Amino acid sequence: MSLRIEHVTDGPGLADWQFVHNEIIPTDPLPLDVVRERAQHRRLTVAYDNDVPVGCATVRPPEEDTPAATLIVRVLPAHRRQGFGDEFYAAELPHAQALSDLVETIVLESNQDGLRFALAHGFVETERYLLPGDTIPFITLRSADC
């Protein structure tokens, strides 16, 4: 395994981040201009196995309605169960912890692999919500270590 993690702010890395996000979250696809805007106030990273994008992550600072930092690590289905998620999560967690003692993640309910991963890493469900027009809820989980 040769995982390489790149913090992306512009250029081709943003398109790789967008590709992974939209594959894993098909209910809320993001256009590149939205991804570019998010990169201005969130940490967006892409994990590569050699030059192949295998995952993307977001670290979002706390917002007015929650004191928690949000860490979302996504790994494409073809690259799961190879240790990429564990390595990617371990690399990004310190960035979230630097923003808050509380860390949350968000998983689309249909992503059962992602939900199992979050639960295995000590997260517990705190909320479910639907985006307008959606039928598949998102699940917010908070680290039990917080």
pLDDT computed for residue 145 by the predictor: 66
- Indicate whether 1 pLDDT > 70: no
Look at the chain and report how many structural domains it folds into. 1
Mean pLDDT of 117-130: 93
Mean pLDDT of 135-140: 91
Which tens digits make up the pLDDT trace of 62-113? 988 889 999 999 999 999 999 999 999 999 999 999 999 999 999 999 999 9
Q: Compute the distance between CA of residue 100 and CA of residue 95 in angstroms, rounded to an integer.
A: 9
- Indicate whether 2 pLDDT > 80: no
Q: Are 107 and 91 in contact (CB under 8 A)?
A: no
Q: Compute the distance between CA of residue 87 and CA of residue 10 in angstroms, rounded to an integer.
A: 24
Name the residue range of residue 124's domain: 3-143
Share of the chain above pLDDT 90, in %: 79
Q: Are 98 and 61 in contact (CB under 8 A)?
A: no
- Output the domain CATH number for residue 75: 3.40.630.30
Sign of dihedral through CA atoms 94, 96, 97, 103?
Answer: negative
Residues 6+ apart with CB under 8 A from 31: 18
DSSP 5: E
- Indicate whether 33 pLDDT > 70: yes
Q: Compute the distance between CA of residue 56 and CA of residue 75 in angstroms, rounded to an integer.
A: 7
Which tens digits make up the pLDDT trace of 42-52? 999 999 999 99
pLDDT computed for residue 52 by the predictor: 94
